[in-house]
Structures are given as structure tokens and as C-alpha cells.
């Protein structure tokens, strides 16, 4: 079953992508939730026109995302957490990384940051997706509270 995504869907595709899914997933989940529409010939034509008109605006968005990516590469993030030796009391997640970025002056939505759950001190990297074409590896360090 071919569908057109109306929003980004994790592990499936981005907005305005035409993807093939199993009929039950499309019919029972994606379409009722408003995440996708059926890819009929007329819907494909409308999508093609929309993408043509949006191409210029999209280029500006990509350029802005690349500028932000260059700025993020220069940011050094240190997250302090309570720890006993190497092991943390609790964990560090995407939310903590987004808060550290907000303190540095960069507002990024937490759903675009992927790092996993970290339970030890040390140096790690998080992936920040600013646009479908612009993905940044963001290094950060977890330090024990003194």
C-alpha cells in the first residue's frame, strides 16, 4: 500500500515522502491518526505541484539549518550529574542535552535529538537532526558533581 506522509514518522519517512507500508499499518494506524493519506494518482499530482512550489523556500531552510549545524559543532556541552564513582545516580537523556543547548542559546526540540540513555560519566555523542538533509553529531561530556 502506497501512502503520502503528512508528518515526519520515526523509522518510516519524512513529511511528503511516498512510502510503501503494509495495508494494516496504513489503514489502521497512519491514516486514522492523520499521519498519512492514500497515494492516489490525483494526490501524487498535487504533491508534485506542492514540492515544485516549495523548492525555493526549502533551499533557504536547508541553508539556515547548515549555519546552525556549523554553530553547534563549536559548542562544548558539559552535563553535571550526581554520581558515585563512574556510575550516575539516574541517567542522562535527550532532555538533559536539550536543556544544556538551551543554556548555550540554541533552542532545539527534543524529538530531533537522539542520544539514548547514558548511565556513566564520560564523553559521548548525540545526533541532532535539523533537517532531513542536515544531521549533526554533537559531542558532549558527562561530569560527576563535586
| Tens-digit pLDDT profile for residues 89-126 | 999 999 999 999 999 899 999 889 998 889 999 999 99
**Dihedral sign computed on CA atoms, order 6, 49, 134, 20:** positive
CATH 3.40.5.10 in the chain, residue ranges: 2-67
Structure-block grid coordinates of residue 142: 558527562
2-5 and 113-114 beta bridge pairing: unpaired
Please state, rounded to an integer, the average pLDDT across all residues of the chain.
Answer: 91
Cα-based distances in Å from 42 to 4, 14, 50, 90: 12, 20, 12, 52
- CA nearest 78: which of 124, 109, 110? 124
Domain 2-67, CATH: 3.40.5.10
pLDDT in tens, 15-66: 999 999 999 999 999 999 999 999 999 999 999 998 888 888 888 888 999 9
CATH 3.10.430.100 domain locations along the chain: 69-144
Over residues 73-94, the mean pLDDT reads 90
Domain 69-144 has CATH 3.30.565.10: no
**Taking the model in full, what pTM does it have?**
0.68
Q: What is the pLDDT of residues 58-70, one digit of tens each?
A: 888 889 999 999 9
Distance between CA atoms of 55 and 120, rounded to whole angstroms? Answer: 44
Amino acid at each position: 500500500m502506497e501512502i503520502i506522509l503528512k508528518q515526519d514518522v520515526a523509522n518510516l519517512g519524512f513529511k511528503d515522502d511516498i512510502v510503501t507500508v503494509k495495508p494494516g499499518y496504513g489503514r489502521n494506524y497512519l491514516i486514522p491518526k492523520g499521519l498519512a493519506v492514500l497515494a492516489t494518482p490525483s494526490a501524487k499530482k498535487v504533491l508534485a505541484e506542492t514540492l515544485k512550489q516549495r523548492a525555493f523556500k526549502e533551499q533557504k531552510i536547508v541553508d539556515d539549518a547548515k549555519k546552525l549545524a556549523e554553530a553547534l559543532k563549536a559548542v562544548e556541552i558539559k552535563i553535571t550529574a550526581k554520581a558515585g564513582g563512574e556510575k550516575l545516580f539516574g541517567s542522562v537523556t535527550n532532555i538533559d542535552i536539550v536543556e544544556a543547548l538551551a543554556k548555550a542559546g540554541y533552542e532545539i526540540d527534543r524529538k530531533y535529538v537522539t542520544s539514548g540513555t547514558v548511565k556513566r560519566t564520560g564523553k559521548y555523542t548525540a545526533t541532532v537532526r535539523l533537517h532531513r538533509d542536515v544531521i549533526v553529531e554533537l559531542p558532549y561530556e558527562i561530569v560527576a558533581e563535586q
